[in-house]
RNA sequence: UCCCCGGUAGCUCAAUUGGUAGAGUAGCGGACUGUUAAUCCGUGGGUUGGAGGUUCGAGCCCUCCCCGGGGAGCCA
């Protein structure tokens, strides 16, 4: 019976066939230990001289690492085996003898590993990280789907910028001139929210910023919910609920993966409601009190962010921002136009901003005013302005960066490890 | 775009004051019936990122270039 390594403990005493790759081989003369991985786990196969015909035994000698193998044998419980069970092999088929495998069971530098990303994916930590990533994606979709949201995806090719063109990748688009790779689906799902009420888009976005840090990718995935009739407090509750749901899902389904990643689950267990909520003004006061300079109309730089979350076990929500440093579409407080009804969520443990969002400007006249003040091309936004001409309502949403969230959950040093094939300033291969 | 650090064997690194470039690992050959990154013996492997300069002599010092890493800004 063909079985997954993961399921072997339920089949002790039976015979099983495992199809996978040779993770490591240890030979001790008349006994071979073959560690075989199949995507669900690693199992140790044991074959002693005399257990199988001599040619079969000899065939096990010197099988290179990562050779594709199909092994068959009796499942036995054995405390000496990693994982608690092992296979006493009666048959070993080598599907392909691997050429000498570049990634050894030793340390490698980041440049080497990234150049071999297509092979590095097979290693333990990338394996665990991709599985956590999958669970985070599932948690996000389940969270929204179970609350009556409809998934409406936004286009990747867009005709113009959301917020200026300096950070956009430009591509040729037939006879239409230049198109740009989207940096956010927000404007489009605002339209969809006026149709379906509660919507989210979830897909890749692109930023042509020349960032070179452990928190940035040029291509990353973002989930963006948008809710009709939602106000800033609704959006903050939604963001809080989503993050709590993600952390709970990872803790429930990824214990083994966290262990492989050497990620202490304790900080994730502390991610519970309520999150501390500070207005931008209160946050500035806190940062200054902790000895880091910050003006009332400043955005958070790296040191300010660090001071803000110092000592916090939960994410910190900063809301009511100076309108001057927020995007044109963000709604101003009608009672105080100097304040924008935005919210950022800063993760603890130095993982930084994972969410940015808020309430949108729903008043046509004020939106026009903002577009003119920022000298944005009005024609490009005509369709967007239509949303305010035909049945405008208060509404809002946010964007959550998938990779930063995965990085946080996994405790990963660098964001490039949270995506299968990272795209960065100086790296586009493989 | 700016600041800092690095580039030596396939990989990870060492090389004292400027004085014959070395180890582990991977590879190859051999030994070993419970290995846990197995161990032990033997063995091949180098345009020291590139170009120029200083010097009797440069992996090491100087100049320029290339590549990578970390950080800032920007943001998710």
Of the listed ranges A46-55, A160-169, A227-236, the least confidently predicted one is: A160-169
Query: What is the spatial distance, in angstroms and rounded to an integer, between the CA atom of A335 and the C1' atom of B54?
Result: 72
Q: Which of A223, A277, A212, A230 is closest to A246 using CA atoms?
A: A223
3-state secondary structure A239-308: HHHHHHHHHHHHHHHCHHHHHHCCCCCHHHHCCCCCCCEEEHHHHHHHHHHCCCCCCCCCCCCHHHHHHH
Residue with tokens 């050779």: A67
Of the listed ranges A51-60, A126-135, A148-157, the least confidently predicted one is: A51-60
CB atoms inside a 10 Å sphere around CB A312: 15
- Across residues A214-223, what is the average pLDDT? 93
DSSP state of A327: -
Query: What is the spatial distance, in angstroms and rounded to an integer, between the CA atom of A111 and the C1' atom of B18?
Result: 31
Give me the pLDDT at residue A162, please: 52
Q: Give kind and range of the element (H or E) at residue A54.
A: helix A54-59
Query: What is the spatial distance, in angstroms and rounded to an integer, between the CA atom of A362 and the C1' atom of B7?
Result: 55
Q: Give kind and range of the element (H or E) at residue A309.
A: helix A302-309
Residue A210 has pLDDT above 90, yes or no: no
Query: What is the spatial distance, in angstroms and rounded to an integer, between the CA atom of A129 and the C1' atom of B27?
Result: 31
> C-alpha dihedral over A141, A142, A146, A149, to 10 degrees?
0
Residue A177 has pLDDT above 90, yes or no: no
Q: Which CATH superfamily is domain A117-418 in?
A: Bira Bifunctional Protein; Domain 2 (3.30.930.10)
Q: Which of A126, A136, A134, A135 is closest to A260 using CA atoms?
A: A126
Which segment, A58-67, A167-176, A308-317, is predicted with the most confidence on average? Answer: A308-317
DSSP state of A144: H
Query: What is the spatial distance, in angstroms and rounded to an integer, between the CA atom of A141 and the C1' atom of B63?
Result: 57
Question: What's the CA gap between A38 and A386, in Å, rounded?
Answer: 53
Nucleotide at minimal C1' distance from the A115 CA: B68
Nucleotide at minimal C1' distance from the A27 CA: B35
Query: What is the spatial distance, in angstroms and rounded to an integer, between the CA atom of A29 and the C1' atom of B32?
Result: 5
DSSP for A351-405, written as a single string: TEEEEEEEEBP--HHHHHHHHHHTT--GGGGHHHHHHHHSS---EEEEEEEHHHH
Mean pLDDT, chain A, integer:
92
Q: Which of A65, A52, A55, A54 is closest to A20 using CA atoms?
A: A65
- Across residues A208-230, what is the average pLDDT? 93
Query: What is the spatial distance, in angstroms and rounded to an integer, between the CA atom of A102 and the C1' atom of B9?
Result: 14
Give me the pLDDT at residue A127, please: 94
Give me the pLDDT at residue A161, please: 55
Query: In b/e form, how buried is each residue of A136-152, taking b as 16+ CB within 10 angstroms?
Result: bbebbeebbeeeebebb
Q: Which of A190, A191, A201, A184 is closest to A150 using CA atoms?
A: A201
Nucleotide at minimal C1' distance from the A81 CA: B36
User: Contacts for A291-300 with beta carbons within 8 Å, 24 or more apart?
Assistant: A296/A322, A297/A322, A297/A324, A297/A325, A298/A325, A299/A325, A300/A344, A300/A346, A300/A353
Q: What confidence tens digit (pLDDT) does each residue in A8-29 have?
A: 999 999 999 999 999 999 888 8
* Contacting residues for A250 by C-beta, under 8 A, at least 6 apart: A132, A135, A136, A139, A258, A268, A409
- CB A73, CB A91: distance < 8 Å: yes
Nucleotide at minimal C1' distance from the A354 CA: B76
* Token pair listed for A76: 């036995």
Nucleotide at minimal C1' distance from the A344 CA: B76
| Interface pTM, i.e. ipTM | 0.85
User: Contacts for A372-376 with beta carbons within 8 Å, 24 or more apart?
Assistant: A373/A328, A374/A328, A376/A164, A376/A328
Question: What's the CA gap between A151 and A82, in Å, rounded?
Answer: 42
Query: What is the spatial distance, in angstroms and rounded to an integer, between the CA atom of A376 and the C1' atom of B27?
Result: 62
Helix extents (H) in A78-227: 110-115, 117-120, 124-145, 186-196
Query: What is the spatial distance, in angstroms and rounded to an integer, between the CA atom of A144 and the C1' atom of B10?
Result: 48
Query: What is the spatial distance, in angstroms and rounded to an integer, between the CA atom of A54 and the C1' atom of B35?
Result: 21
Closest protein residue to B36 using CA and C1' atoms?
A82
Pairing relation of β-strands A42-48 and A85-96? Answer: parallel
Residue A380 has pLDDT above 90, yes or no: no
* Token pair listed for A90: 């009666």
Q: Which of A351, A352, A321 is closest to A338 using CA atoms?
A: A321
Q: What confidence tens digit (pLDDT) does each residue in A139-171 have?
A: 999 999 999 999 999 999 988 655 555 688 888
Domain boundaries A5-96, corresponding CATH code: 2.40.50.140
Closest protein residue to B38 using CA and C1' atoms?
A26
Nucleotide at minimal C1' distance from the A413 CA: B70
Closest protein residue to B11 using CA and C1' atoms?
A108
Nucleotide at minimal C1' distance from the A301 CA: B73
Q: Where in chain A is the domain with CATH 2.40.50.140?
A: 5-96
Closest protein residue to B71 using CA and C1' atoms?
A213
- Across residues A273-278, what is the average pLDDT? 95
Give me the pLDDT at residue A164, please: 54
Residue A382 has pLDDT above 60, yes or no: yes
CB atoms inside a 10 Å sphere around CB A84: 13
**Which positions on chain B have an atom < 7 Å from some protein CB?**
1-3, 10-13, 24-29, 31-38, 67-76
Query: What is the spatial distance, in angstroms and rounded to an integer, between the CA atom of A215 and the C1' atom of B76?
Result: 9
Nucleotide at minimal C1' distance from the A82 CA: B36
Nucleotide at minimal C1' distance from the A305 CA: B75
* Contacting residues for A203 by C-beta, under 8 A, at least 6 apart: A153, A154, A156, A185, A221, A222
Residue with tokens 């995507």: A39
* Token pair listed for A288: 């200054």
Closest protein residue to B37 using CA and C1' atoms?
A105
Q: What's this model's pTM, rounded to 2 decimal places?
A: 0.93
Give me the pLDDT at residue A155, please: 94
Question: What's the CA gap between A47 and A33, in Å, rounded?
Answer: 7
Q: Where in chain A is the domain with CATH 3.30.930.10?
A: 117-418
Query: What is the spatial distance, in angstroms and rounded to an integer, between the CA atom of A426 and the C1' atom of B52?
Result: 28
SS3 content of chain A, % helix, strand, coil (to 5): 35, 30, 35
């Amino acid at each position: 019976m063909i079985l997954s390594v993961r399921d072997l403990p339920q089949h002790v005493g039976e015979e099983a066939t495992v199809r996978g790759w040779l993770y490591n081989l240890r030979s001790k003369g008349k006994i071979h230990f073959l560690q075989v991985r199949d995507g669900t786990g690693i199992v140790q196969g044991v074959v002693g001289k005399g257990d199988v015909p001599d040619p079969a035994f000899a065939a096990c000698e010197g099988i290179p690492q990562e050779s594709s193998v199909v092994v068959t044998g009796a499942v036995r419980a054995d405390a000496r085996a990693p994982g608690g069970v092992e296979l006493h092999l009666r048959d070993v088929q080598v599907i392909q003898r691997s050429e000498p495998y570049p990634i050894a069971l030793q340390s490698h530098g980041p440049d080497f590993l990234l150049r071999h990303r297509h092979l590095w994916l097979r290693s333990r930590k990338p394996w665990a990280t991709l599985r956590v990533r999958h669970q985070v994606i599932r948690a996000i979709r389940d969270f929204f789907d179970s609350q009556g949201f409809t998934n409406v995806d936004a286009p990747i090719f867009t005709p113009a910028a959301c917020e200026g063109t300096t950070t956009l990748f430009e591509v040729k688009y037939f006879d239409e001139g230049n198109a740009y790779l989207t940096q956010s689906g927000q404007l489009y799902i605002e339209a969809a929210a006026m149709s379906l009420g509660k919507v989210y888009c979830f897909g890749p976005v692109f930023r042509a910023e020349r960032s070179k840090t452990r928190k940035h990718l040029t291509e990353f995935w973002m989930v963006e919910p948008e809710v009709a009739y939602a106000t800033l407090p609704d959006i903050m509750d939604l963001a809080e609920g989503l993050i709590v749901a993600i952390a709970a899902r990872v803790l429930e389904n990824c214990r083994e993966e966290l262990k492989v990643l050497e990620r202490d689950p304790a900080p994730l267990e502390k991610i519970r409601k309520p999150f501390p909520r500070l207005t931008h003004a209160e946050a500035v006061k806190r940062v200054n009190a902790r000895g880091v300079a910050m003006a009332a109309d400043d955005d958070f730089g790296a040191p300010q962010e660090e001071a803000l979350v110092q000592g916090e076990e939960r994410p910190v929500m900063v809301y009511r921002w100076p309108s001057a440093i927020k995007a044109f579409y963000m709604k101003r407080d009608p009672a105080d136009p100097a304040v924008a009804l935005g919210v950022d969520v800063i993760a603890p443990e130095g993982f930084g901003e994972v969410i940015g969002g808020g309430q949108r400007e729903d008043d046509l006249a004020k939106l026009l005013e903002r577009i003119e003040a920022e000298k944005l091309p009005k024609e490009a936004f005509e369709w967007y302005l239509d949303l305010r001409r035909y049945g405008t309502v208060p509404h809002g949403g946010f964007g959550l960066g998938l990779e930063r969230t995965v990085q946080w959950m996994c405790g990963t040093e660098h964001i490039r490890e949270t995506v299968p094939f990272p795209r960065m300033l100086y790296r586009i291969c493989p």
